[in-house]
């Protein structure tokens, strides 16, 4: 489905225009240019919503999806739970809505005998005022979607809430919106499509329960048609019930992704109803196979003609020029109230292949499928896809279009920093741009289906993707997580993800689970894995399936269930340091050789590697002489009092390893296809090792988007032809004069000489399996560090670090000085503290105030400090290690020049101008 119109609004059919006007919106989707009217319309419902936390008084659980285990929490944060049996539920007299919600999944359950029958009678819930059109919701909060109800805070400073980010994401929330659907839409199908809702969503229209979906990360649809009052006002209400103790990270809360209204004819292409595959690809030609699923919602059989035209697509997915291939019309009969699949194919000559930069280009194509009934166009459906050949070689790894591509990947959680879970395309694009500059070429979606716009970005930018669906199966990780839903929902959730995402060329591998507890269950756990893999093959036989393992060993049944071997931390070995000898902690020796011997015909790679930890710009002493060490106060790895981890980038979580150790392991085992580092960006929640913090310490980039030192260590490895050198630490150490202050250099060169105030500290050369240059005996004196680097004996790069003066002024730099006025486009502004000579002070801590004048507004601020519990919308923020971030958004419909000002007591202020326009790229 296209996100952008391919024709002018004047070419769109009158009825869809009326729908758009009635909803108070402009259409965001139409079909490729033809002489026919466009019979399908998709409208984003982003404005006009009212939001409220909590149920009406006296509901007493009558709107719950199901009865949950009782969760109790002791003062030390330990959680216990117990599932009530059916007798308890009946005795309590509590109705649940599950029987009315389960049928929403029927389309994604293969066996008709296992599908759910909706009860004939409506649920007995009593009077719910929030469902009524005449309910006065003027006191509710007006919101624009996507909306994360918890990200504004305040943070929860006390208690065991670190795992979920110390933000109040759990609880019940209601969203209401009016829909005026004109009488001209009578006879059409009106669908509500939700890209994601967190979580246990129920949808009501005009007081009637339409359906819902409990898993917060999947996209799904309900058919509003039977409940629509055509030609009048319709009251839409969506209730969400996000459980506590339901995640190991920050899930967010609310309608945090886009919601769409889709209008189609009764006979139309089904939801996610096209599948494009390219089974034979060469430079001269590509075979393109197409499968189209057609729905007939009428009570009579119909005959339709199906034809498809294929276009080259530009970077935004819009068609370029004339069709490059066509599939002529095929007649097909569709039974009353049923569906039919049509298979066809064609050939595209001299195809422009999709592949990862920098050696390849992510070219894409657009398939435009047209349905005709009695000679009249009844639907037109668009499918973006890429032509590429992906091969998996157990000896070398992944080949894309014949080129060996080493997986230089990262794991990414779904939040976008200070914006929380509310998806923003520009924020996600910025993250990918920063990762690309580091040299990353692959993303693992950890551990859930992403927003579909993120996959649109990975397609356009050429990242390779592992698309992952579950973090748990039947065994829980937290008391109220997906394990409660898995028995009844796993098939529907998995098939929904596969159908939504299978046309994305960036996806090369499906993952059905992450570190699931069933690893411990022998054959029983493997059997669940095989069933999930079977579902993958039914939906998409062109890609392999896997699950990531942090415990299962090579001689166990579990890994044999999957096509590819994904190891979390086991490749390097888990807890192999001397301090773990003799303890009861799980210890695993380096495991790549054992899996290689057991599965010589399967590709192996590290799906989570490293989990190294650091606080950007914070350096602790002494510095370990080892290649990798756990975080401890006594070894210079951590400072539990200040809750910081040293940025010398030699320390990791107990089960992990430093980047240096991972690199050495990969170089010793060249058959390993590559790695996905844990993780790319710091994320909200899971703040190991200090759970009173708000966010993780494991990213190569902090939560604000500022690179840590580790970023440059990976850049040196992943972009070996980029001349670069990076010195750490900073060189402001008053009081350390004469004390040993080790200096390390991350560089793509192989040899370097360090100078302190012009005096050589010696020349160093990287030895075998060494990835940094270390001068561990340097004694601090103020002045200048300078390093000269050589590669293969030739000058390669230089870098310097200086002792700076006192803070004197601020500076602001925008990633984009021109943004759109659609209310979504963003500019990210980096604030630095400078001395009188204009040098950035890397250890500065200053209180900064931001304000915005003109047609833009301040959305959020941050500084990348995991301990900072200042609410993200605050215009005041302390700098952390010399930096702070301001996020600015153009005001909807306004244009002009916005002025952003940053001020701090005693320092010269900074200002920058952002142009807000209605035609920004």
Residues noted as catalytic? 515, 608
Question: How do strand 545-549 and strand 507-514 relate by DSSP bridges?
Answer: parallel
d(CA 810, CA 848): 9
The DSSP 8-state label assigned to residue 779 in this structure reads B
**Rounded to an integer, what is the distance from CA 762 to the centroid of its chain?**
45
Residue 709, CB-side half-sphere exposure with 13 Å CA sphere: 29
**Three-state DSSP class for residue 92:** helix
**Rounded to an integer, what is the distance from CA 398 to the centroid of its chain?**
23
Query: CB of 461 within 8 A of CB of 504?
Result: no
- Locate 651 and state its tokens: 């320390």
Residues forming beta bridges with residue 786, ordered by sequence position: 755, 800
Residues forming beta bridges with residue 127, ordered by sequence position: none
Query: CB of 94 within 8 A of CB of 66?
Result: no
Three-state helix/strand/coil letters over 354-399 = ECCCCCCCECEEEEEEEEEECCEEEEEEEEEECCCCEEEECCCEEE
Q: 592-597 long-range contacts, Cβ below 8 Å, gap at least 24?
A: 592/567, 592/665, 592/669, 592/671, 592/672, 593/669, 594/553, 594/554, 594/555, 595/554, 595/559, 595/565, 595/567, 596/669, 596/671, 597/554
Residue 270, CB-side half-sphere exposure with 13 Å CA sphere: 21
Query: CB of 518 within 8 A of CB of 473?
Result: yes
Query: CB of 478 within 8 A of CB of 246?
Result: yes
d(CA 640, CA 68): 37
H or E element that contains 143: strand 141-143
d(CA 99, CA 123): 9
- Locate 15 and state its tokens: 């009825």
Residue with tokens 């592992």: 466
Q: How many angstroms separate the Cα of 106 from the Cα of each of 102, 116, 271, 801?
A: 7, 6, 13, 62
Q: How many angstroms separate the Cα of 410 from the Cα of each of 48, 443, 457, 700?
A: 37, 5, 16, 9
Backbone angles phi, psi at 26, to 5 degrees: -95, 140
Helix, strand, coil % over all residues of the chain, rounded to 5? 15, 35, 50
| Residue 677 Ramachandran class (φ > 0 left, ψ -120 to 50 alpha, else beta) | beta
Dihedral angle sign, alpha carbons of residues 535, 539, 543, 549: negative
d(CA 503, CA 777): 55
CA-wise closest residue to 370 among 300, 310, 456:
310
Query: CB of 666 within 8 A of CB of 656?
Result: no
Query: CB of 707 within 8 A of CB of 434?
Result: yes
d(CA 347, CA 30): 26
d(CA 601, CA 603): 7
């Amino acid at each position: 489905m296209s996100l952008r119109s391919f024709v002018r609004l004047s070419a769109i059919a009158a009825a869809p225009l009326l729908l758009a006007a009635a909803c108070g919106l402009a259409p965001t989707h139409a079909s490729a240019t033809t002489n026919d009217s466009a019979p399908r319309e998709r409208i984003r419902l982003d404005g006009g919503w009212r939001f409220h936390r909590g149920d009406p008084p006296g509901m007493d659980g009558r709107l719950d999806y199901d009865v949950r285990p009782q969760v109790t929490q002791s003062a030390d944060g330990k959680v216990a739970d117990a599932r009530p049996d059916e007798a308890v539920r009946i005795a309590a007299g509590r109705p649940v809505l599950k029987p009315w919600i389960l049928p929403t999944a029927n389309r994604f359950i293969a066996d008709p005998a296992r599908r759910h029958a909706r009860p004939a009678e409506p649920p007995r819930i009593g009077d719910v005022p929030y469902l009524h059109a005449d309910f006065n919701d003027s006191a509710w909060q007006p919101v624009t979607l996507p909306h994360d109800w918890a990200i504004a805070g305040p943070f929860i400073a006390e208690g065991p809430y670190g795992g979920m980010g110390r933000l109040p994401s759990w609880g019940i929330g209601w969203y209401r919106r009016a829909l005026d659907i004109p009488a001209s839409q009578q006879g059409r199908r009106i669908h509500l499509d939700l890209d994601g809702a967190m979580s246990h969503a129920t949808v009501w229209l005009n007081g009637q329960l339409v359906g819902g979906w409990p898993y917060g990360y999947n996209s799904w649809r309900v058919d509003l048609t039977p409940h629509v009052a055509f030609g009048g006002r319709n009251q839409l209400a969506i209730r969400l019930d996000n459980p506590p103790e339901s995640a190991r990270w920050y899930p967010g809360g609310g309608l945090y992704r886009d919601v769409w209204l889709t209008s189609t004819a009764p006979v139309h292409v089904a939801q996610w109803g096209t599948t494009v595959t390219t089974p034979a690809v060469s430079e001269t030609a590509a075979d393109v196979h197409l499968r189209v699923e057609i729905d007939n919602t009428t009570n009579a059989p119909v005959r339709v003609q199906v034809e498809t035209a294929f276009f080259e697509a530009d970077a935004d997915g819009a068609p370029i020029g004339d069709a490059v291939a066509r599939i002529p019309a095929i007649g097909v009969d569709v039974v009353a109230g049923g569906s039919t699949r049509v298979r066809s194919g064609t050939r595209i000559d001299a195809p422009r292949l999709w592949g990862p930069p920098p050696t390849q280009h992510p070219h894409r194509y657009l398939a435009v499928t047209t349905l005709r009934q009695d000679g009249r166009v009844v639907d037109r459906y668009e499918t973006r896809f890429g032509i590429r050949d992906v091969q998996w070689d157990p000896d070398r790894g992944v080949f894309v279009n014949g080129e060996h591509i080493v997986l230089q990947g990262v794991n990414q959680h779904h939040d976008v920093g200070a914006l929380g879970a509310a998806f923003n395309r520009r924020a996600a694009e910025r993250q990918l741009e920063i990762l690309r500059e580091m040299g990353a070429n692959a993303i693992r979606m950890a551990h859930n289906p992403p927003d579909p716009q993120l996959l649109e970005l990975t397609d356009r930018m050429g990242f390779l993707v592992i698309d992952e669906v579950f973090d748990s199966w039947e065994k829980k990780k937290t008391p109220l997580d997906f394990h409660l839903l898995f028995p009844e929902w796993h098939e529907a959730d998995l098939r929904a993800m596969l159908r939504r995402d299978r046309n994305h060329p960036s996806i090369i591998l499906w993952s059905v689970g992450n570190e699931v507890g069933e690893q411990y269950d022998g054959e029983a756990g493997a059997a669940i894995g095989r069933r999930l893999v079977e579902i993958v093959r039914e939906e998409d036989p062109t890609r392999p399936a896997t699950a990531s393992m942090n415990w299962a060993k090579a001689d166990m049944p579990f890994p044999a269930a999957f096509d590819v071997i994904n190891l979390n931390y086991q490749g390097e070995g888990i807890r192999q340091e001397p301090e773990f000898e003799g303890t009861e902690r799980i210890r695993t020796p380096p495991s790549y050789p054992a899996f290689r011997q057991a599965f010589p015909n399967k590709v192996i790679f590290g799906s989570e590697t490293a989990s190294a930890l650091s606080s950007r710009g914070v350096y602790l002493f002494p510095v370990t002489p080892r290649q990798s060490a756990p975080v401890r106060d006594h070894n210079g790895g951590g400072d539990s009092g200040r809750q910081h981890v040293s940025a010398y980038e030699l320390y990791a979580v107990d089960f992990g390893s430093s980047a240096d150790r991972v690199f050495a392991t990969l170089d010793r085992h060249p058959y390993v296809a590559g790695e996905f580092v844990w993780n790319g960006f710091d994320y909200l929640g899971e703040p190991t090792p200090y759970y009173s913090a708000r966010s993780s310490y494991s990213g190569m980039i902090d939560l604000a988007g500022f690179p840590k030192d580790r970023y440059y260590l990976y850049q040196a490895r992943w972009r070996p032809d980029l001349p670069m050198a990076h010195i750490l630490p900073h060189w402001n150490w008053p009081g350390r004069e004469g004390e040993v202050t080790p200096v390390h250099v991350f560089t793509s060169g192989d040899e370097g000489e360090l100078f302190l105030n012009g005096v050589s500290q010696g020349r160093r050369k990287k030895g075998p399996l060494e990835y940094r240059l270390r001068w561990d005996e340097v004694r601090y004196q103020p002045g200048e560090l300078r390093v000269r680097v050589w590669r293969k004996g030739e000058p390669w790069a230089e870098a310097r670090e200086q002792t700076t003066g006192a803070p004197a002024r601020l500076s602001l730099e925008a990633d984009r000085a021109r943004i759109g006025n659609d209310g979504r486009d963003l500019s990210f502004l980096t604030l630095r503290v400078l001395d009188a000579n204009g040098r950035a002070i890397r250890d500065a801590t200053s209180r900064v105030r931001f304000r915005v004048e003109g047609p833009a507004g301040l959305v959020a601020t941050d500084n990348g400090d995991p301990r900072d519990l200042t609410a993200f919308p605050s215009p005041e923020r302390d700098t952390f290690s010399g930096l702070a971030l301001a996020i600015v958004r153009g005001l909807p419909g306004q244009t002009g020049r916005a002025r952003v000002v940053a001020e701090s007591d005693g320092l010269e202020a900074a200002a920058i101008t952002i142009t807000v326009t209605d035609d920004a790229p």
